[in-house]
Amino acid sequence: MPDMGHIVHVIDRSGDVEGFRHIARLRGRDNSDEPRAMNLTARPSNGSQVARDRIDPAGRLANSIGELMGQLDGRVAVITGGGRGIGEAIALRYAAEGATVVISSRTASDLENTLSVAGLDSDRGLAVVADATDRDDARRPVLEALERFGRVDILVNNVGGSVGNNDPFLANDDAFESTLVLCLTSAWWTTSAVLPSMRDQGFGRIISIGSGTSKTTGASLPYTTAKHALVGFTKELAKTGAPFGINANLLCPGWTRTSLVDFERIATARGTSVEIEEERAASESLQHRVLDASELTGMATLLAGEDGRGITGQVISVDGGYKV
């Protein structure tokens, strides 16, 4: 099975992600939404109301989330792997919700594109080119966010994937270790960089992106191992952070429609058809469909905001009922 938790989003421009992009661009032009000190009761400004009214020309979001925009006003969020896929979708939603957004990736053009479509200038957006598999580089997004904005309220550990040939019969130590570093150790590096400041400010939200294979099997041995390990990482982190107002949760997607889940490539490798492979993926969930990356952003926003203050130490799936 292809990796499910870190996949590049294929944009449906009539759908939710484009709606987030539209409202994020509007908020990015609203000067009343400057970053400010933590305010748990901050409400959207008039500019935010305009954004809610114009959330999506297709109207798909107006009823579902139109009244909720502004949940992250005044917050500063760091999102690793924020240039594409699930990370990009979360970055766009957080921007639409009023957050200052710091995103990292190895590819500068992806980061620039995300900030551009979100309409974020240097007052509310920062792109950090960084390699999550390098300890010092992995910590830089947090450190640069602290230097620029003075605080980090939300950390989304989104980086992950499989590295190399993960056939366990080949005993490929490098591939196993590299996958664990990408999926697990990188989350520790960014988390360890942000914990002291979250403790000192008495508030923090740490959301790591797991996978359907955080709970079951279905991917490579190293990938499944790393994603299972994130469960223990999250629960212990929640216990450690609770006295200081720090919540930690694991958000687990299943099959998500992105370009890394390339059904044409899968079909070619298996000698089948795109239709057969799409159907096979969809059949693994109760809803019999492949989700869009934007469908994870509602839960990511809940976990990051004040309404999610009572949720910590949890492994939460947004996957259409994957392998239930």
Catalytic residue among 223, 233, 255, 263: 223
Assess contact for 277 and 213: CB atoms under 8 A. Answer: no
User: How many whole angstroms separate alpha carbon 130 and alpha carbon 97?
Assistant: 25
**In angstroms, what CA-CA distances link 249 with 99, 238, 239, 254?**
19, 7, 11, 16
Q: What's CA 88's distance to the chain center, in Å?
A: 7
**In angstroms, what CA-CA distances link 224 with 81, 230, 232?**
19, 10, 13
Element (H, E) at 206: strand 204-209
Assess contact for 154 and 205: CB atoms under 8 A. Answer: yes
Active site annotation includes 223: yes
Give every strand in the sheet of 154-157, ordered side by side. Answer: 125-129, 100-105, 76-80, 154-157, 204-209, 246-253, 315-318
Question: Catalytic positions, please?
Answer: 223
